[in-house]
Amino acid sequence: MSSSKKKVSVVFGTRPEAIKLAPVVLELRKRDRLEGSVCVTGQHRQMLDQVLPVFDILPDADLDLMMADQTLSGLTARLIESIDRYFTSERPDFVLVQGDTTTVFAASLVAFYHRIPVGHVEAGLRTGNLYAPWPEEANRVLTTRLSTLHFAPTDSAYANLLREGIDPNAVMVTGNTVIDALFFANSTVEKAPPVIEGISDSDWFLGKERMVLVTGHRRESFGEGFLHICNALVRLATDNPGVHFVYPVHLNPNVQKPVFDIVGCNRSNVHLIPPQPYLAFVALMKRSFLVLTDSGGVQEEAPSLGKPVLVMRRTTERPEAVTAGTSRLVGTEEDLIVSGVERLLSDLDEYRRMSGVANPYGDGRAAVRIVDAVESHLFGATEVLS
C-alpha cells in the first residue's frame, strides 16, 4: 500500500450487513487515496457466503467464528479476541461497521480500544426499548457511543442521534445503502432471472396467481410469538387457496422447528424453501403481491419495488415507512396478522394506496456520500462532498 493511502477496514458478519456494506466496498475501490480491506466474522456463515459473489467481493480476512448453539456471550467474547488480533495485524486507519449485530458492537469496541475511528453506517435507528429488538437495540445504542462518524439513513435517525447529544458535525444523512444494493441487484435480476428451485418454473409462479412472501427470524419472537405467526400462516393458506405463501425459512432451529411442525409442506399453496441467495430473494420480492416480515432490511427494500409490507413486530426502528404508509405493524398476534393480510388481499384501494407510496429510504447514492465523508475525515478536508 502506498504511504499516501489510508486503509479502511470494513467489518461485517451477517447477510444483511454484507448486502448493505457491499456498495460501500465497491465505492472504496474507486478511490485513489483509500484502500478498502474486508473482514468477515462469519456470524452468518452460509447466508453470508451466498451474498459476497453477487458483488464480486472476496474477503481479505475471514474469522469464521460461527459455532452451533452459540450464546451471545460466547460469540461476543470470540469476536472481541479475533477482531483484536485482526486490527493488531492490519492496523487500519478507519473502521466501518453497519447496523446493529453483535459483530458491529464487538468491532466498534475493539476499534475504540485501538483508538481507531469508527464510522457507523445506518446509525440512529431506535425503538426506545432495549429488549425489542433484542439484542439489536442495545448493540446500536452502544455502537453510537463508540463511533466517530454517524451515517444516518433518514432524517428521523438523524434526529434520534441529536436528541442523544451526538455532535451534529459528526452526523450525516446519507440515505440507506440497501437501496444502492437493491438497484444493483434489480438490474442484474432483470438481465438474468435467477432460478429458484421448485418455485420459478412452476405454473403458478409463471402465471398470475398472487404470492405472499414471508420472512421471520427475530429472537424476541422465539417461542410463543412464532407459534402465533405459524398459526396465522396456516389460517391464511387454508382460507385463501388461490394465494401462494412462500417462506424461505431461516436456518435457526428456533425458527425451523415451529415452522415445519405447524405450517408444514402438505398444502399446495405453501412453499417452505431454504434461505435464498440475494438475487433470488430480490426476484421473489419483485414477484410477490405483498411481504409479511420481521426483517429490518426487507422493510426498506420492498417499498422500492412497490410492495406493501406488514411488519410482524410490535415496534420498529424504521418508522419512516409506517409514517409514509407503505408498511404497517401487525405484531405477532395471530388475528392481527391474518386480518392485515386479508385486508390487502381483498381491498384493492388499500393495496394501491400502500404500494404507490414513494420509498423514504434513499436515492441509491448513499455509498458515495459515506465514502466521501470518510475520505474527508482522514485527509482533513473541510467540506464533505455530496
Active site residues: 100, 122, 136, 217, 219, 250
Scanning the chain, the segments in alpha helix (DSSP H) are: 15-28, 45-51, 72-90, 102-113, 136-146, 155-163, 177-191, 203-206, 224-239, 253-258, 278-287, 296-304, 319-324, 334-346, 348-355, 366-379
Contacts with 41 (C-beta within 8 Å, 6 or more apart), sequence order: 11, 12, 13, 63, 65, 79, 82, 83, 103, 106, 107
**CB of 100 within 8 A of CB of 125?**
yes
| Cβ neighbours, 10 Å, residue 241 | 10
Q: Given 3-state DSSP classes, what are the helix, strand and coil percentages for the chain, each rounded to the nearest 5?
A: 50, 15, 35
As beta bridge partners, residue 40 has: 12, 62
| Cell numbers standing for residue 86 | 485482526
C-alpha dihedral sign at 72, 73, 76, 78: negative
Cα(283)–Cα(381) distance, integer angstroms: 41
238 Cβ contact partners less than 8 Å away, ≥ 6 residues apart: 267
Q: Is 84 helix (H, G, I), strand (E, B) or coil?
A: helix
CB of 307 within 8 A of CB of 327? no
Q: Using the Cα atoms of residue 106, residue 179, residue 25 and residue 95 in order, give the sign of their dihedral.
A: negative
| Helix, strand or coil, per DSSP, at residue 241 | coil
Q: What number of CA atoms fall less than 13 Å from residue 311's CA on the CB side?
A: 25
164, three cell numbers? 442523544
